[in-house]
């Protein structure tokens, strides 16, 4: 399945059915009076977050979602049938934006959460509604209200507990494959990862979701390389795991590059809890490891863990460090009630 995290969608709700002008005509009933029924309501357009999806690829092949109009009213006081609603099934974590790609309509972060995107038009009144004591034979009926037509954008931000960041070829995909059942592409050249990958990680009887995004390079915030187009997928993470390639000649400069790009993208990412690990220590001697660890700690102003994704050295300690930062935020989120669905 291909990965797609941005899609343009055209929606239109159904128009209401027109009211009916009709009169009761039966044998031996001289003054039957009006009996025109009302029109049915047009269908609404909804968006619903569902589990089991992690891409918007379906919206590349179907971009138009038009609800049907309500049925017209009929004689004998028969109301027209209302049209069925149209529901867009989107992954959890999908943001719905206006056509300007900036105004957020809704953010669907919980399974089953729904939002009304376009309300269907009301059905028109039949002439039975216009009967009065002075107008016993009204020949007036209302047309149905028109539907609402709009263009929206769907932007997916994967919901993961931990997000992996680092330069290309820092060992992020190797680490994800070592600690989860995810099978990202792994090779000995940069930019192996071209789209985000998710994996479920287990440690000490606990489980959390980890997201791996393509590597960042200097100038990514200005569009270099793959740019910062995938950083939105770790924006929701509770903690970031910053992997630094221990075989690099200047680990401090590598870490500085990533921190600069995170700050350029969003201050939110810089405020998140962060665990920094020096990777690929299996390829280094003890003296080099100590030297590069000290230089990295001086650069980031905090502790640095040592690990190797290939040899699985120090992996458990890194996962435990991540979990100690994830657990408190999970408890805080559980105490917060979800917001009510937005409706126009």
Residue 16 is labelled as binding a ligand: no
Q: Reduced to 3 states, what is the DSSP secondary structure of residue 114?
A: strand
Residue 237 is labelled as binding a ligand: no
Residue 107 is labelled as binding a ligand: no
DSSP string, 41-103: PPPPEEEEEETT----THHHH--EEEPPPPPPPBTTTBPPPPPPPEEEEEETTEEEE-TTS-S
Residue 41 is labelled as binding a ligand: no
Residue with tokens 């109301």: 79
Question: What gap in Å lies between CA 108 and CA 237, rounded to an integer?
Answer: 15
Residue 195 is labelled as binding a ligand: yes
Residue 195: both structure tokens together: 């789209």
Residue 6 is labelled as binding a ligand: no
Residue with tokens 């999908």: 94
Residue 192 is labelled as binding a ligand: yes
Residue 169 is labelled as binding a ligand: yes
Residue 309 is labelled as binding a ligand: yes
CA atoms within 13 A on the CB side of 1: 13
Residue 92 is labelled as binding a ligand: no
Residue 294: both structure tokens together: 């000290």
Residue 191 is labelled as binding a ligand: yes
Q: Do residues 55 and 95 make contact, with C-beta atoms less than 8 angstroms apart? A: no
Q: H or E segment at 327?
A: helix 315-334
Residue 313 is labelled as binding a ligand: no
Q: Do residues 265 and 298 make contact, with C-beta atoms less than 8 angstroms apart? A: no
Residue 53 is labelled as binding a ligand: no
Residue 57 is labelled as binding a ligand: no
Residue 49 is labelled as binding a ligand: no
Residue 170 is labelled as binding a ligand: yes
Residue 282 is labelled as binding a ligand: yes
Residue 166 is labelled as binding a ligand: yes
Residue 32 is labelled as binding a ligand: no
Residue 135 is labelled as binding a ligand: no
Residue 171 is labelled as binding a ligand: yes
Residue 196 is labelled as binding a ligand: no
Q: Do residues 317 and 281 make contact, with C-beta atoms less than 8 angstroms apart? A: no
Instruction: Provide the annotated binding site.
Output: 166-173, 191-195, 212-215, 279-282, 308-310
Residues of the binding site for Mg(2+) = 173, 193
Annotated binding-site residue numbers for GTP: 166-173, 191-195, 212-215, 279-282, 308-310
């Amino acid at each position: 399945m291909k990965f797609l995290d941005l899609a343009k969608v055209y929606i239109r709700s159904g128009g209401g059915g027109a009211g009916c002008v009709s009169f009761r005509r039966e044998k031996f009933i001289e003054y039957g009076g009006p009996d025109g029924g009302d029109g049915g309501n047009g269908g609404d357009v909804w968006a619903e977050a569902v589990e089991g999806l992690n891409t918007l690829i379906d919206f590349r092949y179907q971009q138009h979602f038009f609800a049907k109009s309500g049925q017209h009213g009929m004689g004998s006081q028969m109301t027209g049938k209302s049209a069925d609603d149209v529901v867009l099934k989107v992954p959890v974590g999908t943001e719905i934006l206006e056509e300007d790609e900036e105004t957020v309509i809704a953010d669907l972060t919980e399974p089953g959460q729904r939002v009304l995107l376009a309300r269907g038009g009301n059905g028109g009144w039949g002439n039975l509604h216009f009967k009065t004591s002075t107008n016993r034979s009204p020949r007036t009926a209302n047309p149905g209200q028109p539907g609402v037509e709009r263009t929206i954008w769907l932007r997916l931000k994967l919901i993961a507990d931990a997000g992996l960041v680092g330069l290309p070829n820092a060992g992020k995909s190797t680490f994800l494959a070592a600690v989860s059942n995810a099978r990202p592409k792994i090779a000995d050249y940069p930019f192996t990862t071209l789209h985000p990958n998710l994996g479920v990680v287990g440690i000490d009887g606990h489980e959390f979701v980890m997201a791996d995004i393509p590597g960042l390079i200097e100038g990514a915030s200005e569009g270099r390389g793959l740019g910062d187009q995938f950083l939105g997928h770790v924006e929701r993470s509770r903690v970031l795991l910053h992997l630094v390639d221990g075989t690099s000649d200047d680990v401090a400069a590598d870490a500085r590059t990533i921190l600069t790009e995170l700050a350029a993208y969003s201050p939110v990412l810089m405020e998140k809890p962060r665990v920094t690990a020096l990777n690929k220590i299996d390829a280094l001697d003890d003296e080099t490891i100590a030297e590069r660890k000290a230089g990295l700690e001086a650069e980031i102003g905090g502790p640095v863990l040592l690990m190797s994704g290939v040899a699985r050295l120090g992996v458990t300690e890194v996962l435990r460090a991540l979990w100690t930062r994830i657990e408190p935020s999970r408890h805080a989120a559980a105490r917060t009630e979800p917001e009510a669905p937005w409706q126009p």
